[in-house]
Structure 1
Amino acid sequence: MMGKLIEFFKKHPIIKTLVQMVIVFFLLIGITLYGLKLYTRHGKAVLVPDVKAMALPDALRILDREGFRYDIIDSLFIDEAVPGTVVEQTPAGGSKVKEGRIVYISINAYSPRMITCPKVVDMSMRQALSLLESRGLNDVRIQEVPSEYPDLVMGLQYQGETLQAGDKVPAGSSLTLLVGNGVPEVYTDSTTDEEAPQAMDTESLTDESWFN
């Protein structure tokens, strides 16, 4: 039987070539699928440890022990969280993932991030609020001040102190935006009669007691 098959292929070399190509094709598919299965560890999953609220060294030690890689992607500042602890992780604790998966974590900073104040004086209130928001300064209180130009920004304050462009404030700070109310400030003469110079008594100048 084998001899007849060999003889057949000798007489029909094109068919022989086609059969060889089909065999090679299926062999390549089989090798590829097997390699992919080994690479992805198909069907084998592990639980991600929950490291939120842990101190960073403890969290990294647990991830190492469980065979996970990790990447610290961000540093936040949250008043309620303990500085130096993990505040976010992806994938979340308890998730089923493949072995060796990277766990992305964010930690709580030891001090708030500082933000540089932009120049907002002489801008419209809307422009200033939009610019401050783009810098991450969202807690802004509006205070109207006397000015003939309504909605024109006259200044920016933090804790009662006037800020200049380039000054830095902690992220999450509450700022006060001084905005004109369209009513110019009226200045009045506060001089009173009591403050006016008193005329000297001419009689006292000629009083003989001055010469005694």
Structure 2
Amino acid sequence: MNIFKFIKSTSFFKQVAIVVVVSLLLVFVLKWWLGFTTNHDQKIEVPDLNKMELTEAAKKLQEVDLTFIVIDSTRYNPEYPNKSVIEQNPEAGDFVKEKRKIYLTVNPSKYNDVVLPDLNGRTKRQAITHLLSIGFRIGESFYVRDIGKDVVRGMKYNGSNLKPGEKRPKNSVIDLVLGDGKE
């Protein structure tokens, strides 16, 4: 019975009113403070950096108070100038706040070098599949006198013989030296 008397009393209503007022006040102060510290209404449009050289992109981002980080530069694309921006995140036209980092993917100056595998003794079909899978292109086939027909007996690049383990740029044309199947 005492609980019902307390709930009907004026001191209970005063305490509830104090809790409600303090809670509302706390919510409004917190909302104002978050809006002030997070620059709530500020927007900067991200510029289009596509195909710009890295130094030019850095200047353009500095003008609008943004910074950048290069996250990747391993995929060479011959359609883009060397050391130019291939991708950016956030995209051009998006709105961000000041001092936001823009993540850039930059085009390297050339294809990466790839180690040549040891293909001696493999068939032409196996060698072609392996070379294509690691990023080379296949050129001409030269035949030498050998008992194994279409068996790899060497590789050439620009007319010079290659040894397994050497490095050549990705997308290079590799010529195969194959056996002709005659004794």
Same fold flag (TM > 0.5): yes
Instruction: Give the corresponding residue for 1:184.
Output: 182
Tell whether 2:50 aligns with 1:52: yes
Aligned to 2:117: 118
Counterpart position of 2:173: 174
Measured against aligned partners, the alpha-carbon deviations of 1:92-116 in whole angstroms (never above 9, x if no partner) come to: 323x132244322233334443222
Q: Return the offset for 1:37.
A: 6.5
The alignment status of 1:136 with 2:135, answered yes or no, reads yes
Confirm or deny that 1:5 pairs with 2:3: no
Preserved contact between residue 142 and residue 175 of structure 2 (Cα < 8 Å): no
Aligned equivalents of 1:166 and 1:24: distance in 2? 74
Alpha-carbon shift at residue 160 of structure 1 (Å): 1.2
Q: Which runs of 5+ in 1 are unaligned?
A: 11-15, 186-212
Structure 2 residues without counterparts, runs of 5 or longer: 1-7
Matched residues in 2 for 1:121 and 1:81: separation? Answer: 37
Name the structure where strand makes up a greater proportion of residues: 2
SS of 2:51 mapped into structure 1: coil
Question: Residue 71 of structure 1 is aligned with which of 46, 69, 89?
Answer: 69
Aligned to 2:105: 106
Query: In the TM superposition, what is the alpha-carbon distance from 1:49 to its structure 2 partner?
Result: 0.7
Q: Secondary structure at the match of 1:84?
A: coil
Deviations 1:155-210 (CA, angstroms, capped at 9, x unpaired): 111111111012121222111123345x215xxxxxxxxxxxxxxxxxxxxxxxxx
CA spacing shift, 1:35–1:7, aligned 2, 3 Å: closer
Provide the secondary structure at the position in 2 that maps to 1:118.
coil
Go from structure 1 to structure 2 and tell me whether the alpha carbon gap of 1:23 and 1:111 turns closer, same or farther (over 3 Å shift).
same
Provide the TM-score with structure 2 as the length reference. 0.67
Query: Residues 172 and 41 of structure 1: is their aligned pair in 2 closer, same or farther, counting only changes over 3 Å?
Result: farther
Larger gyration radius, structure 1 or structure 2: 1
Preserved contact between residue 41 and residue 98 of structure 1 (Cα < 8 Å): no
Alignment RMSD? 3.9
The alignment covers a number of residue pairs equal to 172
**Greater alpha carbon shift after TM alignment, 172-181 vs 115-124:** 172-181
Shift in CA distance, 83/25, structure 1 to aligned 2, threshold 3 Å: same
CA contact (8 A) 1:73 1:105 kept: yes
Q: Is the 8 A contact 1:71 1:104 kept in 2?
A: yes
**Distance across 1 between alignment mates of 2:91 and 2:173:** 32
Counterpart mapping for 1:21-32 below 5 A: none
Aligned partner of 1:189 in structure 2 is none
Contact 1:115 1:171 in 2 (8 A): yes
Task: Spell out, residue by residue over 1:32-79, the C-alpha distance to the aligned partner (whole angstroms, 9 max, x if none).
Answer: 887877787667543211122323212112112212231112335444
Q: Alignment identity in percent? A: 27
Q: Which has the higher contact order (CA 8 A, sep 6+)?
A: 2
